Amino acid sequence: MTFLFDQWRSRSPHYDETHEAVCESVRAFVTREIMPYVDEWEAAGELPRDLHRKAAEAGLLGLGYPEHLGGSGITNQGAFDTFHGLVQSEEMCRPGAGGIPASLLIHGIGLPPVIAMGSEELQQRIAPQVLAGEKIICLGITEPGGGSDVAQIKTRAERKGASYIVNGVKTLITSGMRGDYISLAVRTGDAGMGGISLLLVDLNISGVSRTPITKMGWHASDTATIHFDDVEVPAENLIGPENAGFGGIMRNFNGERLGMAHQAAAYSRVCYEDALDWARERETFGRPLVTRQSIRHKLARILQMINANQAM
């Protein structure tokens, strides 16, 4: 059923017919290409590569990215705004399997630093392949020593001639097992936030090794610990100026936090719809659960919280 997903949007001033169009096209893709395979991919622990290409063809990967880099835009009528991205994100939540959007749309956190700060050459080299679904780019910030305190990262990149030599470990990297590229936070300078740079690293080169991580959820999303042992990276793969990476990481986090919060709100609606369906279907003591006053109170209270959250 589409009780909550579709009712609230029509009451919001932020949405018009272009957002409805995004909703319809993403929903059609999810229904056709994702829903039938959720259990299979959750069991496999990863998504098929082909899904990225299909998502690109359907315009999902390129939504909101510049056309000259292979982005699709949305319509001819208006510009892309944040709400188009949010509509896409919440529609991807409908199957109730968080690992699928996390992994399929991993370029949403891996690619923005390249586009915002990378050289024109780097953008042209990387973005079109990613937006075509041919290559997967992930983001490498977190280390075994910690994730919240980004300014303390230890993975080091030493400049040697025309290259950087990278040594260190990243962990909990979404799409890290299948990823082709990683936007990697490395220490190029002194301690603290002022000594961090971002480097685009090819994950299929000598010195890179990966091990999968078993998680309690997000099963369809391959997640890795990635080791970098004397990995030689061309200096032209530096994303933005040296030692200016911290700002780029923080800018990335803004979009990521908004997306994660919106996904949490969308999942609450998925769960509510499931609970309501079950309360209508399940009979105890001769009547459906939904006819019981205590159950109706619970459902009303949850809906109140969801609507209040959504209104924010």
Ligand X SMILES: Cc1cc2nc3c(=O)[nH]c(=O)nc-3n(C[C@H](O)[C@H](O)[C@H](O)COP(=O)(O)OP(=O)(O)OC[C@H]3O[C@@H](n4cnc5c(N)ncnc54)[C@H](O)[C@@H]3O)c2cc1C
| Residue numbers annotated as active site | 256
Q: Site mask, ligand X, residues 38-77, x = CB under 6 A?
A: ----------------------------------------
Report whether 95 contacts 41 (CB < 8 A). Answer: no
- Please state the closest distance from residue 61 (CB atom) to ligand X, in A: 17
Q: Does 147 bind ligand X (CB under 6 A)?
A: yes
Please name which of 33, 166, 36, 44 lies closest in space to residue 99, comparing C-alpha atoms: 44
Q: Which of 69, 172, 275, 279 binds ligand X (CB under 6 A)?
A: 172
Pick the closer one to ligand X by CB: 147 or 189: 147
What is the rounded distance in angstroms from the CA atom of residue 253 to the CA atom of residue 67? 24
Q: What is the DSSP string of 200-251?
A: EEETTSTTEEEEE---SS-TTS-EEEEEEEEEEEEGGGEESSTT-HHHHHHH
With contacts defined by CB under 6 A, name the span among 17-25, 143-151, 232-240, 273-281 that binds ligand X: 143-151
Report whether 101 contacts 145 (CB < 8 A). Answer: no
Q: Does 104 bind ligand X (CB under 6 A)?
A: no
Pick the closer one to ligand X by CB: 74 or 226: 226
Strands 137-140 and 181-187: parallel
Q: Does 141 bind ligand X (CB under 6 A)?
A: yes
Q: Does 207 bind ligand X (CB under 6 A)?
A: no
How big is the site for ligand X, counted in residues (CB under 6 A)? 14
Q: Does 146 bind ligand X (CB under 6 A)?
A: yes
Vertex 260: Cα angle to 309 and 301 (nearest 5): 25
Encoded tokens for 59 = 């315009």
Q: Which residue has the tokens 């937006």?
A: 131
Q: Does 10 bind ligand X (CB under 6 A)?
A: no
- Please state the closest distance from residue 180 (CB atom) to ligand X, in A: 14
With contacts defined by CB under 6 A, name the span among 158-166, 169-177, 199-207, 275-283 that binds ligand X: 169-177
Please name which of 47, 86, 23, 80 lies closest in space to residue 257, comparing C-alpha atoms: 86
225 strand-pairing partners: 211
- Please state the closest distance from residue 41 (CB atom) to ligand X, in A: 15
Q: Does 218 bind ligand X (CB under 6 A)?
A: yes
Phi/psi at 186 (5° precision): -135, 155
Residue list 148-167, contact with ligand X (CB under 6 A): 148
The residues binding ligand X (CB under 6 A) are 138-142, 146-148, 172-174, 215, 218, 223
